[in-house]
């Protein structure tokens, strides 16, 4: 009987160890190494350059060497396969502050990380292509299925703008109450108006709650029919865009401040991340 109990106990210990191993295998003991690792969030909003010169990730350039390249646009999205491999980056090319812009897919293998001489921590994203090649690149579009009966992008944009204008008059934006614009005072920072900033400066800017809680970032800017920046889409939570939630707010609900040295740009909203995630989601 004692032998049976001992055998049972041994089996239980081994089984527990196997159970633990099986349920912790998904987690890695990882330390971020700047020499080899890169956060995907750092790529969103980065400029992409094109050159016909032969270039590789081992190439270095002199200071201001990027001025010899064509600045074709910025990264709007990163596309992964289901096995976790980064397949492409989606670059918004052409247009002016988002108007007339179109998305093209760049294969990740074609994206070169080029450093400046003497500054290996900083890099530029470059592809081998001509300006004509960029213009002729096929437009990236998300496959929504053959039975999709959604309105065209232009119709949707017009409806959205009309809803926003009606909502603003009623003190709401679409189907949610508007938030009160916060009043934030930070040493070394001054309030700036949205029309003093470019779309490039606003896109990717971090958004903070009243207690300096980092709640998300500006992922997209929405325009009115007359080409004015109307609202900002805040990207909340998620990982590499997976599980991310998007909420559109007006600039009347935001306060924008910039460091007096012209560097850090911070956007404030009178809400926590948890409260924003309960707002109606923007489906662009």
pLDDT digits (tens, 9 = 90+) for 215-273: 999 988 887 776 677 789 999 876 554 567 889 999 899 999 999 988 889 999 999 88
Whole-angstrom distance, CA of residue 271 vs CA of residue 49: 37
Token pair 């009160």: residue: 180
Q: Is the pLDDT of residue 4 over 90?
A: no
Mean pLDDT value of segment 100-125: 85
Starting at the edge strand found earlier in the chain, the sheet holding 86-93 runs 60-61, 112-116, 119-128, 47-51, 70-80, 86-93, 102-107
Which residues are bridge partners to 137 per DSSP?
Answer: none
Domains and CATH numbers, the chain: 40-136 (2.30.30.240), 154-277 (2.30.30.240)
Helix (H) or strand (E) run with residue 88 in it: strand 86-93
Q: What is the pLDDT of residues 67-104, one digit of tens each?
A: 899 999 899 888 888 877 888 999 988 764 445 678 99
Question: For residue 1, what pLDDT is reported?
Answer: 36
- For residue 66, give the DSSP letter: G
- Give 65's pLDDT tier (boundaries 50, 70, 90): confident
Structural contact between residues 199 and 221, judged by C-beta atoms closer than 8 angstroms: yes
Cβ-based burial of 147 (10 A; exposed 0-12, middle 13-18, buried ≥19)? exposed
Percentage of the chain with pLDDT > 90? 21
Is the four-CA dihedral 82, 76, 91, 46 of positive or negative sign?
A: negative
Both tokens of 11, joined, read 């089996």
- Rounded to 5 degrees, φ, ψ at 157 are -65, -40
> How confident is the model at residue 51, as a pLDDT?
92
pLDDT at residue 201 tops 70: yes
pLDDT value at residue 12? 46
pLDDT of 6 strictly over 50: no
Euclidean distance between CA atoms 45 and 265, whole angstroms: 14
- Tokens 């559109």 belong to residue: 248
Quick one: pLDDT at residue 127?
A: 93
pTM for the model stands at 0.45
- The pLDDT of residue 11 is 46
User: Which of the residue ranges 101-110, 115-124, 211-220 would you say has the lowest mean pLDDT?
Assistant: 115-124
């Amino acid at each position: 009987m004692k032998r049976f109990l001992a055998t049972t106990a041994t089996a239980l210990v081994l089984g527990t160890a196997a159970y633990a191993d099986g349920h912790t295998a998904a987690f890695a003991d990882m330390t971020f190494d700047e020499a080899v690792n890169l956060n995907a969030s750092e790529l969103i909003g980065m400029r992409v350059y094109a050159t016909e010169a032969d270039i590789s990730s081992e190439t270095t350039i002199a200071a201001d060497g990027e001025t010899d390249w064509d600045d074709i646009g910025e990264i709007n999205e990163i596309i992964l396969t289901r096995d976790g491999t980064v397949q492409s980056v989606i670059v918004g090319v052409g247009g002016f502050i988002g108007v007339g812009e179109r998305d093209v897919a760049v294969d990740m293998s074609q994206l070169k990380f080029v450093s400046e001489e003497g500054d290996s921590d900083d890099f530029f994203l470059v592809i081998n292509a001509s300006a004509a090649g960029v213009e002729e690149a096929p437009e990236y579009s998300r496959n929504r299925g053959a039975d999709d009966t959604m309105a065209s992008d232009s119709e949707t944009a017009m409806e959205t703008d009309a809803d926003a204008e009606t909502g603003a008059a009623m003190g709401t934006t679409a189907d949610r109450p508007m938030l009160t614009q916060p009043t934030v005072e930070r040493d070394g920072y001054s309030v700036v108006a949205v029309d003093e900033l470019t779309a490039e400066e606003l896109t990717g800017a971090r958004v903070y709650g009243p207690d300096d809680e980092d709640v998300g970032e500006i992922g997209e800017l929405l325009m009115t029919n007359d080409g004015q920046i109307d609202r900002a889409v805040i990207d909340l939570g998620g990982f590499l865009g997976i599980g991310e939630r998007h909420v559109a707010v007006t600039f009347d609900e935001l306060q924008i401040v910039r460091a007096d040295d012209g560097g850090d740009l911070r956007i404030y909203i009178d809400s926590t991340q948890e409260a924003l995630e309960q707002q109606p989601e923007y489906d662009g």
